[in-house]
A and B are shown apart, each in its own frame.
Chain A
Amino acid sequence: SQQGEEDPQALSIQEGENATMNCSYKTSINNLQWYRQNSGRGLVHLILIRSNEREKHSGRLRVTLDTSKKSSSLLITASRAADTASYFCATDAGVDSNYKLTFGKGTLLTVNP
């Protein structure tokens, strides 16, 4: 069963705008990760946020984590056409899951030039 669920399923914006994607999960986690997948390619790791962290930045990416609400958000600022991809959250429930990652179904982001 899916642990993380991304919202929205699809998002279309103009270049230069910000894109926000959300992830909700059901059980306690050790960490939460975000991945990007370009069409026809494998997933690429973007950022990891631990359960004791609330916010993390990497370049134009900002991730927040609210463990009380069991949710995370990924913000991409000043989006570019090259950001067009599917974005997945993945949760690590730690020892309870043998440290396996559980992926959501993804958000398809389209950035229009």
Chain B
Amino acid sequence: DAGITQSPRHKVTETGTPVTLRCHQTENHRYMYWYRQDPGHGLRLIHYSYGVKDTDKGEVSDGYSVSRSKTEDFLLTLESATSSQTSVYFCAISESARPYEQYFGPGTRLTVT
């Protein structure tokens, strides 16, 4: 998985609790992305980062925040988890914004009860 790890790999949490997912890369790639994957919706972009402390919103950013204080780490926080945020979350990295391919982590399965 191209030097990308995600933690935790599985998490069950209760509605209303904050949750932080971590993506760690060893490739020194500039761009990092958080996606969620849901049946019938495919892969949707939540937030992305184009450098340390530089982030922007994606298609489905409501209820999520991100931080990137180091090149290698990109954190996704669910400020107050809801059942609609039950999903599989993937981190991806890219050497450049265009036209290069993205490399994906193994995913985090999050269940909000």
Asked if A and B bind, the verdict is yes
Interface residues of A (CB under 8 A from B): 1-2, 30-31, 33, 40-45, 48, 50, 88, 92, 94, 98-106
The 7 A-B residue pairs whose C-beta atoms are closest, nearest first, are A42-B104, A99-B97, A45-B101, A105-B42, A103-B43, A99-B98, A43-B104
Interface residues of B (CB under 8 A from A): 1, 4, 33, 35, 40-45, 48, 56, 58-59, 90, 92, 97-107
Out of B97, B106, B107, which one reaches A98, CB within 8 Å? B97
Structural contact, B99 and A98, CB atoms closer than 8 A: no
A47 to chain B, nearest CB (A): 9
B32 to chain A, nearest CB (A): 12
Which of chain B's residues has its CB closest to A42's CB?
B104
A-B contact pairs, 28 of them (CB 8 A): A30-B98, A30-B99, A31-B98, A33-B101, A41-B107, A42-B104, A42-B105, A42-B106, A42-B107, A43-B43, A43-B92, A45-B102, A48-B99, A48-B100, A50-B99, A88-B43, A92-B99, A99-B97, A99-B98, A100-B33, A100-B45, A100-B58, A101-B45, A103-B35, A103-B42, A104-B42, A105-B42, A106-B42
Given contacts A50-B99, A101-B102, contact A42 B90 (CB under 8 A): yes
Structural contact, B106 and A41, CB atoms closer than 8 A: yes
Whole-angstrom CA separation of A2 from B1 in the bound complex: 25
Whole-angstrom CA separation of A94 from B96 in the bound complex: 12
